[in-house]
A and B are shown apart, each in its own frame.
Chain A
């Protein structure tokens, strides 16, 4: 990790290749986990457990990519706020629409 001082005196955080490689290995482990978890019937233990586990793992992977590959961890608070807002907005769309569907009893077949 080295510092790079620009004209303004601002130091830019440089993420080391070692950390990138570590994150990549973590992502590979998580990919393997989700692959093998899909082969096991988890729905026996709890309704929809398979998809819950799959989405949890995917969210862990996405978080690692956002924090380290996309440098969110090393970005300004302003940038971090914008990122969180994006996720919140997605959450609004998902939560409101799905609760709309969940609260109606539609006959499909």
Chain B
């Protein structure tokens, strides 16, 4: 693996060599598009089949955390793009600075995700043996529900039961929603953790002064991966959090 960007034998020009690396990353990202695409397709079909329950289940997820995470992640894409710029203009200290900023913002995202997952755990919304969409309406203090929220939830659950034919259907359909929620955001979070690992490597290498205007391909291509993970979230946010907030 070339460390300084010198031309390898099978390439005719440096430009060709660099483009082949970029094309490799794009090809991998296409496989990722189809990977996530399959999950989005599953979600779409299930949401179309169980619209009322999906709408209700979606509203039990705190919208503010999702919105903050969207801002944080797009911000991390900005800092990632800036690190590529810094390498292109030879500002080596700024490369490290922006890579660290990206890493920190990504970690903030993961931290907020952990807070969200914990809330779902407390409310018995994690698919499995203890899944119970009625837990909060039966234990409002455990879910920190105000009396108004409790009354609203009880009436919505009653309406749902009429629409889908009973509490068993309400529970099974919402378990579908949360399986998809955890599956999709979990896979996304896994990709972010991998991205964070790659960023740590980039930070260390940038501190050795490895990235220059002549050679910054790893920064650019790991940037492509990071931006892709951002795009997945750009679609996840409206589909999971913004179904029915009116």
Contacts and interface: CB of A to CB of B under 8 A. Distances in A.
B246 A38 contact: yes
A31 B235 contact: no
A1 B152 CA distance: 56
Contacts of A16: 85
Contacts of B26: 79, 82-83, 86
Main secondary structure of the interface of B (DSSP, over half): helix
Interface string A64-91: 0110111100011011001101110110
Interface in A36-66: 38-41, 50-51, 54-55, 57-58, 61-62, 65-66
Interface of A: 2, 4, 6-8, 10, 12, 14-17, 20-21, 23-24, 27-28, 31, 34-35, 38-41, 50-51, 54-55, 57-58, 61-62, 65-66, 68-71, 75-76, 78-79, 82-83, 85-87, 89-90, 93-94, 97-98, 101, 108-109
A76 B213 CA distance: 19
Contacts of B38: 93
Contacts of A55: 235, 238
A97 B45 CA distance: 9
B214 interface: yes
A93 B238 contact: no
Contact of B44 (A23, A70, A89, A98): A98
A85 B23 CA distance: 13
Interface stretch (B71-79, B120-128, B139-147, B189-197): B71-79
Interface of B: 7, 13-15, 19, 22-23, 26-27, 29-30, 33-34, 37-38, 40-41, 44-45, 48-50, 63, 67, 70-71, 74-75, 77-78, 80-82, 85, 88-89, 164-165, 169, 213-214, 220, 223-224, 227-228, 230-231, 234-235, 237-239, 242-246
Contacts of A15: 81, 85
A86 to B, nearest CB: 4
Contact of A78 (B23, B230, B235): B23
A16 to B, nearest CB: 8
Given A58-B234, A69-B80, A86-B29, A94 B41 contact: yes
Contact of A98 (B13, B45, B223, B246): B45
A67 B221 CA distance: 15
5 contacts: A8-B14, A17-B82, A35-B242, A87-B33, A93-B37
